[in-house]
Amino acid sequence: MSALTVDARDGSARAGRVVTAHGAFDVPAFMPVGTHGAVRSVHPAELRACGVQVLLCNAYHLALRPGVALIRRAGGLHRFMGWEGPILTDSGGYQLVSLAGVAAVEDDAVTFVSPYDGSRLRVRPEDAVRIQADLGADVVMCLDQPVVWGTADGVAAQATQRTLRWAERCRAAAPGGPHLLFGIAQGGFDTEARRQAAMATSALGFDGLAIGGLSVGEPGEVMLEMAAASLDGMPSDLPRYFMGLGTDAELLAMVAMGVDMFDCVVPTRLARNATALTREGRLALRRAACRDDLRPVEDGCGCLCCRDFSRAYLRHLFAAGDILAHRLVTIHNLTHLQRLMEGARDAIRRRDFAAYREGVGSRLGNEERIAQTTPVN
């Protein structure tokens, strides 16, 4: 039985729910990133107030610090971090890009050098699955090898084949029980390689499928084309997850193509850099224009930040170096993206998603727009 229930469709876009051992979450869904077991500066109850239903944590970082054994003694990751809802854990594959200088890839395993103490962590595909299951993750991700834009075709092809072999090993080591296991389709930046990799990964019988190795520096039109090719090779009855995407226009473009799940550090990273997400685009709160502006970040937003504080106050806090500024803007940014996904779900159920997407796109600043033409998948 599929973990995904679809209750409405509008073209390729769909709305429904994914059921896990720690409850269900609505899709399309945006998952805030809690790399180390926390979304920076935000209490779990505040995440719920923002509308968050599911979180992403990073098994690689948690295995290094504080360690799987401690988290198991604490009763598992949910109890350790005080979050009762669903958790998806990333296997560490992305760190082969973000920490490429301290990671060695072989056919059998990946060896990481810890950024914390210099120790070495050797991870086989089977280990990646076991670590995530031991943490208590609801959704376990296969170990994969993404490549960045500009990688030579031969290297990308080799990484794609290695990812498929690792997917087979992860599937064979599937923990079963309450854990959902998602495969990741790579394929570099070649449409046919993407399509074939997605088909081969789908054939292994995972509980869900992810599009990996995109939003890594490629032009927006290339990302759309590669995502469409990947989706061509994926069945429609499983959850589909685009890894590492977090701007309004990009999210809605992928929803239009039939993607259900997303994660990204964009809302929290922008908040740390004094930038708020709004319906009209990004608002830089350090600007001189905010110094005497007593309006909230966004009129009509009921989040904790907008309800009680002004742009002028937030600018003052950032200038003073007070962490409250980061916390408040993070709460607003997370609320913004949860509201965007809720609006998408409602529009799909009304069969009015194209108009909803067009309305969002028409308000955004130029820096956040991508091509509005969606490839047909």
Backbone angles phi, psi at 181, to 5 degrees: -115, 120
Active site residue 10: no
The one catalytic residue in 90, 127, 138, 207 is 90
Q: CB of 315 within 8 A of CB of 259?
A: no
∠ CA 220-226-231 to the nearest 5 degrees? 125
Q: CB of 54 within 8 A of CB of 239?
A: no
How many Å separate Cα 353 from the centre of its chain? 22
What are the tokens at 186?
Answer: 């790579």
Kindly list the distances between the CA atom of residue 26 and the CA atoms of 53, 239, 292, in Å, as whole numbers in the listed order: 8, 11, 40
Active site residue 263: yes
Cα separation, 79 vs 135, in Å, equals 10
Nearest to 95 by CA among 64, 67, 138, 135: 64
List, in sequence order, the alpha helices (H) in 351-363: 353-363
Cα separation, 167 vs 163, in Å, equals 6
- Backbone φ/ψ region at 331: left (φ over 0), alpha (ψ -120 to 50), beta: alpha
What are the tokens at 273?
Answer: 């850099």
∠ CA 157-161-167 to the nearest 5 degrees? 145
Long-range contacts of 155-160, Cβ-Cβ distance < 8 Å, separation of 24 or more: 156/187, 156/188, 156/189, 156/190, 156/193, 157/188, 157/193, 159/186, 159/188, 160/186, 160/187, 160/188, 160/193, 160/197
How crowded is residue 302: how many other Cβ atoms within 10 Å of its Cβ?
Answer: 12
The one catalytic residue in 10, 127, 138, 263 is 263
The β-bridge partners of 19 are 24
Catalytic amino acids? Answer: 90, 263
